[in-house]
Structure 1
Amino acid sequence: MAKVANDTVVAETIAEARALAQRGRFWAALLGLGFVIGLTGPFGTYDTLPTVLRAAYWTVVVTTTFWLGYLVSFAVATCAEAYGINAPISLGIGAAVASVPLTAWLAGLHMAFFATPFWANAGELLPYVIVISFAAATSFEAVSSREVVPVPRATSTSGPAWLDQLPAHLGKDLILLHAQDHYVRAETALGQTLIRTTLHDAATDLGDYGIRLHRSWWVARGAIQAQRYRNGAPVVVLQDGRELPVGRTYRRALKDALR
Structure 2
Amino acid sequence: MSNGKTKWSAQWIAVELLIMALIGLIFGFLGPFGTYAMPVALRLAYWVGFIIVGYAIFRPVSISAGWLRESIGISVWAAELMATAVATLPLTFLIGFAISGMRFDPDFLGDRFVLLYLQCGAIGFGIFLFMRLLFGPDEAVEQADHDLIQSDNRKIVPASEPIKLVRTQLHDRLPQSFPGMIIALGVEDHYVRVHAAERTEMLLLRLSDAIKEMEPQEGMQVHRSWWVARDAIVTSKREGRNLRLSLSGGLEVPVSRAYVTKLKQTGWI
TM-score w.r.t. structure 1 length? 0.62
Q: Please, which of 38, 47, 61 is the counterpart of residue 17 of structure 2?
A: 38
Work out the CA distance in 1 between the residues paired with 2:174 and 2:90.
56
Q: 1:164 to 1:258 in 2, by over 3 A?
A: farther
Q: Deviations over 1:169-192 (max 9, x none)?
A: 552232211112332111221122
Which range moves more in the overlay, 221-230 or 195-204?
Answer: 221-230
**Matching residue of 2:254:** 244
CA shift digits 1:74-117 (9 cap, x unpaired) = 55896xx6xxxx754xx554433322122234445656789999
The code of the aligned residue for 2:225 comes to S
Determine if contact 1:34/1:61 at 8 Å carries over to the other structure. no
Counterpart of 2:120?
Answer: 125
Q: Is the 8 A contact 2:191 2:206 kept in 1?
A: yes
Identify if the C-alpha distance between structure 1 residues 152 and 192 changes in structure 2 by more than 3 Å, giving closer, same or farther.
same
- For the Cα contact (< 8 Å) 2:185–2:195, is it kept in 1? yes
Are 1:100 and 2:85 matched, yes or no? yes
Partner in structure 2 of residue 22 of structure 1: none
Question: CA offsets, 1:199-233, max 9 Å, x none?
Answer: 11111121352111122110111222456766556
Unpaired segments ≥5 residues, structure 1? 1-24
Letter in 2 for 1:148: Q
Tell me the amino acid that sits aligned with residue 246 of structure 2: L
SS at structure 1 position matched to 2:157: coil
Rg larger in structure: 2
- Letter aligned with residue 201 of structure 1: D
Q: Quick one: structure 1 residues 144 and 178, their matched pair in 2 at CA, closer, same or farther if it must change by over 3 Å?
A: same
Distance 2:12 2:93 in 1: 22
Give the 3 Å change call, closer, same or farther, for CA 205–158 of structure 1 in structure 2: same
**By percentage of residues, which structure has more helix?**
1
Distance 1:188 1:61 in 2: 55
Distance in 2 separating the partners of 1:132 and 1:188: 53
Structure 2 unaligned regions, length at least 5: 1-5, 29-43, 102-111
Number of aligned residue pairs: 216
Q: Which residue of 1 aligns with 2:142?
A: 142
Shift of 1:61: 5.2
Mark the CA change 1:256 to 1:37 in structure 2 (over 3 Å): closer, same or farther.
closer
Look up the equivalent residue of 1:37 and give its one-letter code: E
- Over the aligned positions, Cα root-mean-square deviation in angstroms equals 4.1
Equivalence for 2:204: 196
Residues in 2 aligned to 1:160 and 1:126: alpha-carbon distance in whole angstroms: 56
What TM-score, normalized to structure 2? 0.60
